[in-house]
Amino acid sequence: MKVTQLDCLCLILLHLLHTSGSERFEVLGPTDSIVAVAGDDIILPCYLKPNISAEDMTVDWLNLDFLDERVFRYQNHRIIRDDQIPYYRGRTSLFEEELWRGNTSLKLTRVQGTDEGHYKCLIQSKSWYDDFTVQVLVKAVGSKPVVSIEGHREGGMGLLCESEGWHPDPELVWLDSKGVHLSARTLETHRDFKGFYRVKQHVIVQETDTNHFTCRVQQKRINEKMETEIHLPSELFDPTPWRMAFIVLCCLGAIIGIGLSLAIYCICYKKGNGEII
């Protein structure tokens, strides 16, 4: 039987189609967001269907919130770190012993605020690729609010409340003893290099029948709150004793100054007249 060029071409095409079809796969992962507690280690699940080996493939993990910058890459049987986002270095790894059965999940250690975002798991073979995206939410409960007294301000008493280590950024409210919100200055929010938030806010309070005031810091998305209560003695709201003490001190200082001046003058005068002291 004579084999024509057309037959050879058909055989080649059939072989290519068979090879391509045999390498096709899906990349799968969780449908729900992953909620991570700051400081913990988490796993971002990702696997191939069917469970074929990924040892000869390229495995990329990308952070889509950083313009597709690379979180991790496995290629040619080794880890590539050249263009990895700096703050992921030393905190990411694959389960390399599981690659043979299609497990391409990423382990992320010591979670911090900047890790929140959308992550793409991209798997490429020589003739096929697919990807899957999962969202990571970071939860961090900050410190108990610290309240400090700033002294007399505009006819009342100035207070300052501060708290740090939150994620996402929280809100801060001042309350009186009845739970009524007090009017305060603009909330100041600062984010550190790990993505955690620090908040502080000033308020001027007036004297009440209880003089109890509360600073509450809360994050509704993670359903967490911390609060600190402070009691101010009534004496603090009366500036008169402080003013009297200041006036008395000023008078004593003036008297002492005048006395020293007179004493020095008398000593100098006697020396000038040759008197023996």
* The pLDDT of residue 170 is above 50: yes
pLDDT, one tens digit per residue, over 29-54 is 999 999 999 999 999 999 999 999 99
Distances in Å between the Cα of 203 and the Cα atoms of 9, 27, 41, 135 are 83, 53, 39, 38
Which candidate, 48, 12, 37, places its Cα nearest to that of 222? 37
Distances in Å between the Cα of 67 and the Cα atoms of 19, 168, 184, 231 are 34, 21, 38, 50
Q: Which residue has the tokens 């309240």?
A: 147
pLDDT of residue 163: 98
pTM of the predicted protein model: 0.73
Per-residue pLDDT band for 256 (boundaries 50, 70, 90) equals: confident
E strands, the chain, where?
26-28, 34-37, 42-44, 47-49, 58-63, 69-75, 78-79, 92-94, 106-108, 117-124, 129-139, 146-153, 156-166, 171-176, 188-191, 197-205, 212-219, 224-231
pLDDT of residue 255: 73
CA atoms within 13 A on the CB side of 238: 7
Average pLDDT of the chain to the nearest whole number? 85
Identify the H or E element spanning 252: helix 240-272
pLDDT of residue 1: 45
pLDDT, one tens digit per residue, over 92-115 is 999 999 999 999 999 999 999 999
In this structure, are residues 92 and 107 in contact, taking their beta carbons and an 8 Å threshold?
Answer: yes
* % of residues, the chain, pLDDT over 90: 69
Per-residue pLDDT band for 154 (boundaries 50, 70, 90) equals: confident
Beta strand pairing call for 47-49 and 58-63? unpaired
Read off the pLDDT of each residue in 122-127 and give the average, rounded to a whole number: 95
* The pLDDT of residue 75 is above 90: yes
Q: What is the dihedral of CA 246, 252, 258, 261, to 10 degrees?
A: -100
| Least reliable range by pLDDT among 42-46, 206-210, 226-230, 237-241 | 237-241
- What gap in Å lies between CA 74 and CA 108, rounded to an integer? 15
pLDDT of residue 77: 94
Per-residue pLDDT band for 205 (boundaries 50, 70, 90) equals: very high
Which candidate, 243, 241, 149, 156, places its Cα nearest to that of 207? 156
